[in-house]
Amino acid sequence: QVQLVESGGGLVQAGGSLRLSCAASGRTFSSYTMGWFRQAPGKEREFVAAISWSGGSTRYADSVKGRFTISRDSAKNTVYLQMNSLKPEDTAVYYCAASKNPIATWKGAFGSWGQGTQVSVSS
C-alpha cells in the first residue's frame, strides 16, 4: 500500500482558485492510478478526478469538467488538483486515493486513502 498526505485546502471566495497536493510515500507511486474524491456534509463520497499511472489518461466528474485539472509529478511522488472557478457547491473534504486498477473512477477500486483536506468556498 501507499501512504498519502493531502495539503492545500482552505477558504476561498466563489470564482477563486486552489491547488491541492497529495504526497505519496513508497517507490511504486508511478504504478498507481491516482484519484481525488470529495465528501460534503451529509453526502456520500463522490468521484472528482483520476489520472492514469502514466499521466496519459484523465477522467473528471461532469460537475468539475472544464474547471478542475488533475496532474502528477512522478519525480516528486505527488499528484495535484488545480481547482479554478470554484463554486460554493465545491465545498467538501477532498481525499486523495490510489488504485492499482487502470484509470479507475469508483470508490471501491481505490485501496489507499489520505486523511482529507477541507475546501470551503464562500458565496
Average pLDDT, the chain: 95
pLDDT > 90 fraction of the chain, expressed in percent and rounded: 87
- Range in 7-11, 19-23, 100-104 with the lowest mean pLDDT: 100-104
Is a pLDDT exceeding 80 seen at residue 97?
yes
Distance between CA 25 and CA 19 in Å, rounded?
Answer: 20
How far does CA 70 lie from the centroid of its chain? 7
Span 55-60, mean pLDDT? 94
Distance between CA 39 and CA 56 in Å, rounded?
Answer: 26
Query: What radius of gyration, in Å, describes the C-alpha atoms of the chain?
Result: 13
pLDDT confidence of 100, banded at 50, 70, 90?
very high
Half-sphere exposure of 67 (CA within 13 A, CB side): 16
Q: In sequence order, what are the residues at sequence separation of 6 or more whose Cβ sits closer than 8 angstroms to the Cβ of residue 20?
A: 6, 7, 8, 9, 36, 80, 81, 83, 94, 96, 117, 119
Q: What is residue 23's predicted lDDT score, i.e. its pLDDT?
A: 96
Is a pLDDT exceeding 80 seen at residue 26?
no
